Amino acid sequence: MKVGVIGQGYVGLTISLYASDYFEVIGFDSNTKIVNQLNFGNSHIEGVESSALEKNISAGNYRATSIASELMHCDIFVIAVPTPLDSKRQPDLSYIEAACKTIGENATRAVLVINESTSFPGTLRGFIKPTIERYSKKVFEHHYAISPERVDPGRTDFNQKNTPRLYSGLTAEASARTRAFYSKFCDNLVEVSSPEVAEAAKLFENTFRQVNIALVNEFAQIAHALGISVYETLDAANTKPYGFMKFSPSAGVGGHCIPVDPTYLAAVAEEHGAPATFIRRANEVNLEMSEYIVRRVAEDHGGNLQGKSVLVVGVAYKPNVADVRETAAELVIAHLRNQGAVVSWHDEVVGHWKGENSVPLQGADIAVVVTKHASVDEEKILASAPYVFDTTGKVKGAKGL
């Protein structure tokens, strides 16, 4: 069995490595720099060890390519390309369309196509299948399935093996083939009755997180206005053994999933005349947190940040990863600069971002902690400026939410 995985990012490379213990895997990516790096055995993804990559390359079970014709003998295709929002913040399926074109034009037999990219219900049936058929000119009766990815980059307790995986095919045959594929390296497969249920479940999981994060961010503002500690209050609520799940306040949500996926759900809801009130408002509350934080910092400085040197500590969207997609740090920095502050940032995990480099953790008037990597010393953060505002709740002794 030959497996072609379209997209070698967080999701695609992770699945490629697991699958290449059992199948011959070709990792296809349009980015030739990534492909070259991968073929030298260098992983660019947290949680995918270069040593594991090297082992599977040496065994002849994995190689990366940007040449689509090398996919022609594949039996299974996995789609793992980005599903961002377009400039109007609407679902952008252009990467999925390009992946479908690659599959449609290069498959030389009836194959199983599994989509792992996150998208709205109906994407497999109403977009992926017809698009592949259009490009393949309907020569083959391919099988189609969805199995949304749940990987949490940087996480070690849950992985491909022990995270339950949802799946559903457009036909019983597609479901059975999908089960056979994943059962090699995933212990718990959960079949649902239709691809639409699997697609919707993935969106709802991330919407649940988005809405609860917004709720706790709003509550942080209420707690501050009431003069009580948000953290102590949340810990107190969390002593209830049932019916409560603790979320923590922050500068906002980041990454490719939480700020994006709920908008896919909202878009499809509104298209069908259903309300998406919570989802839309939660998005706004999370986006507004950066402005609230800068307002709090300014209030502590007589309402004026003009000319102050501000060091933003941690620009990755979450601890211990280099991923800056949709990071809340971007909005925090923009609001600080709008107030006339002179902003630099410290994040050695990220290193270089938007044409700027990480600067040393020292010598600022103000430090604002957006993301606290494990490798960054708390004492050093406190010593980096006479005033430190921590949005993470992890720097004891700093001002904070």
Ligand X SMILES: NC(=O)c1ccc[n+]([C@@H]2O[C@H](COP(=O)([O-])OP(=O)(O)OC[C@H]3O[C@@H](n4cnc5c(N)ncnc54)[C@H](O)[C@@H]3O)[C@@H](O)[C@H]2O)c1
- Comparing CB distances to ligand X, the nearer of 153 and 400 is 153
CB of residue 100 to ligand X, shortest distance in Å:
9
Picking from 187, 186, 168, the residue whose alpha carbon sits closest to that of residue 178 is 168
Query: Which residues have a Cβ under 8 Å from the Cβ of 349 and sit 6 or more positions away?
Result: 316, 320, 321, 322, 373, 375
Closest distance to ligand X from the beta carbon of 171 (Å): 23
In 7-127, which ranges are E strands? 24-28, 62-65, 76-79, 112-115
In the complex with ligand X, the residue whose CB is nearer, 98 or 359, is 98
Decide: residue 309, CB within 10 A, 0-12 exposed, 13-18 middle, 19+ buried. Answer: middle
How many residues appear in the chain?
Answer: 401
CB 198 within 8 A of CB 182: no
Give the C-alpha separation, 63 to 185, whole Å.
Answer: 19
**Torsion over CA of 63, 67, 70 and 72, rounded to 10 degrees?**
130
- Residues contacting 314, CB < 8 A, separation 6+: 329, 346, 347, 369, 370, 371, 372, 373, 376, 392
Catalytic residue among 74, 100, 186, 257: 257
Q: What CA–CA distance (Å, rounded) separates 393 from 236? A: 15
Of 328, 320, 258, 319, the residue nearest 293 (C-alpha): 328
Q: Which is nearer to ligand X, 92 or 218 (CB)?
A: 92
Rank residues 48 and 385 by Cβ distance to ligand X and give the closer one.
Answer: 48
Least distance CB 342 / ligand X (angstroms): 32
Nearest approach, Cβ of 257 to ligand X (angstroms)?
Answer: 5
95 close to 23: Cβ distance less than 8 angstroms: no
Q: Which is nearer to ligand X, 47 or 393 (CB)?
A: 47
Instruction: Please name the amino acid found at residue 277.
Output: T
Minimum CB distance to ligand X, residue 231 (Å): 27
Nearer to ligand X, 81 or 366 (CB): 81
In the complex, least distance from residue 326 CB atom to ligand X, rounded to whole angstroms:
11
To ligand X, the closest distance from the beta carbon of 375 in angstroms equals 21
CB contact at 8 A, 228 and 236: no
Cβ 101 to ligand X shortest distance, Å: 8
Which of 190, 149, 197 is closest to 170 using CA atoms?
197
Q: With contact defined as beta carbons under 8 Å apart, do 387 and 332 qualify?
A: no
Nearest CB to ligand X, comparing residues 89 and 380 = 89
Q: What is the DSSP letter of 87?
A: T
Nearer to ligand X among residue 34 and residue 279 (C-beta): 34
Whole-number Cα distances in Å, 353 to 260, 309, 314, 335, 356: 21, 19, 12, 18, 5
Catalytic annotation on 257? yes
Q: Which residue is nearest to ligand X (CB)?
A: 9
Binding site for ligand X (CB under 6 A): 6-12, 28-31, 34, 80-83, 95, 98-99, 102, 116-118, 149-151, 153, 256-257
How many CA atoms are closer than 13 Å to the CA of 174, on its beta-carbon side?
Answer: 26
| Inter-residue contact 341 to 366 (CB < 8 Å) | yes
List active site positions: 257
